């Protein structure tokens, strides 16, 4: 038997992340989290002092899971189209592994923006890098001109939205669980192609 660290705090974190991301802060019950972790409710207060504190820790965890990987791609020195392909592929992969993350962050940010925006900002996204790259390519006549804000909005929207609106897509477009999974997998190519085609100037 290999020695397995049964770190209680990690068990609590995992349970809390599951419950919080699934039900949201208001919908989550401390008892739910304790049950999910298989421990006494008081232990939650032993490791984290309150529901708020526990939530903030989890929120930070979630942000750190999915923000740095994609930000690092955006600010890298890859060619623009390659950036698009890798971003799309990477972002969708992360969301496939953590289907509840996007909706969770969005909702909590809506309910309580001032409390949580700090947690995000310190990740340090510098929009100027991608902005300069886009302007340079446009001036060189390699792509159509577009504001960096709209470029990013388009890219992130098409990657993320199908996850947040998952029930809508499953329900409205008549595919079940696995049909949805395949649909998502296809989007890695669709999104990058849509972005690139829209940017490409016709000759």
- Confirm or reject binding of residue 161 to DNA (CB under 7 A): no
Copy the structure tokens of residue 29.
Answer: 């019950």
Could you tell me which residues come within 8 angstroms of residue 10 by beta carbon, excluding any fewer than 6 positions away?
none
Residue 150 CB neighbour total at 10 angstroms: 10
**Alpha-helical segments (H) within 38-165:** 41-47, 51-74, 80-97, 101-111, 113-121, 127-139, 148-164
The stretch among 40-48, 56-64, 79-87, 118-126 that binds a second copy (CB under 8 A) is 118-126
- Positions 9 through 38 that interact with DNA (CB under 7 A): 28-31
185 contacts a second copy (rule: CB under 8 A): no
Residue 106 vs 181, nearer CB to a second copy: 106
Taking CB under 7 A as the rule, which mask of x and - marks residues 76-95 in contact with DNA?
Answer: --------------------
Q: Of these partners, DNA, a second copy, none, which one is at the site of residue 57 (CB under 5 to 8 Å by kind)?
A: none
Q: Are 33 and 12 in contact (CB under 8 A)?
A: yes
Q: Which stretch binds DNA (CB under 7 A): 43-51, 60-68, 106-114, 155-163?
A: 43-51
Rounded Cα distance between 192 and 199, Å, is 11
* Binding partner at 52 among DNA, a second copy, none, C-beta below 5 to 8 Å by kind: DNA
* CA distances to 47, 105, 106 from 69, in Å: 29, 16, 18
CB atoms within 10 A of CB 13: 19
CB under 5 to 8 A by kind: which of DNA, a second copy, none does 41 bind?
Answer: DNA
**How far apart are CB 4 and DNA at their closest, in Å?**
13
Footprint on this chain of DNA (rule: CB under 7 A)? 8, 28-31, 39-43, 45-46, 49-52
């Amino acid at each position: 038997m290999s020695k397995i660290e049964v770190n209680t705090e990690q068990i609590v974190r995992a349970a809390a992340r599951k419950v919080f991301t699934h039900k949201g802060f208001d919908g989550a019950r401390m008892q739910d989290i304790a049950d999910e972790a298989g421990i006494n409710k008081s232990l939650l207060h032993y490791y984290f002092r309150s529901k708020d504190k526990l939530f903030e820790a989890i929120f930070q965890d979630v942000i750190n899971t999915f923000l740095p990987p994609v930000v690092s791609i955006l600010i890298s020195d890859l060619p623009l189209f390659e950036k698009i392909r890798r971003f799309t592929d990477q972002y969708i992969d992360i969301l496939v592994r953590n289907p509840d993350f996007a909706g969770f962050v969005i909702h909590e940010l809506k309910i309580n923006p001032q409390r949580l925006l700090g947690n995000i900002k310190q990740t340090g996204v510098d929009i100027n890098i991608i902005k300069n790259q886009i302007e340079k390519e446009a001036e060189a006549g390699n792509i159509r001109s577009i504001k960096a804000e709209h470029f990013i909005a388009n890219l992130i929207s098409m990657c993320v939205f199908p996850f947040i609106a998952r029930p809508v897509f499953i329900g409205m477009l008549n595919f079940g669980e696995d049909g949805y999974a395949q649909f998502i997998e296809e989007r890695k190519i669709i999104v990058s192609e849509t972005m690139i085609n829209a940017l490409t100037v016709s000759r």
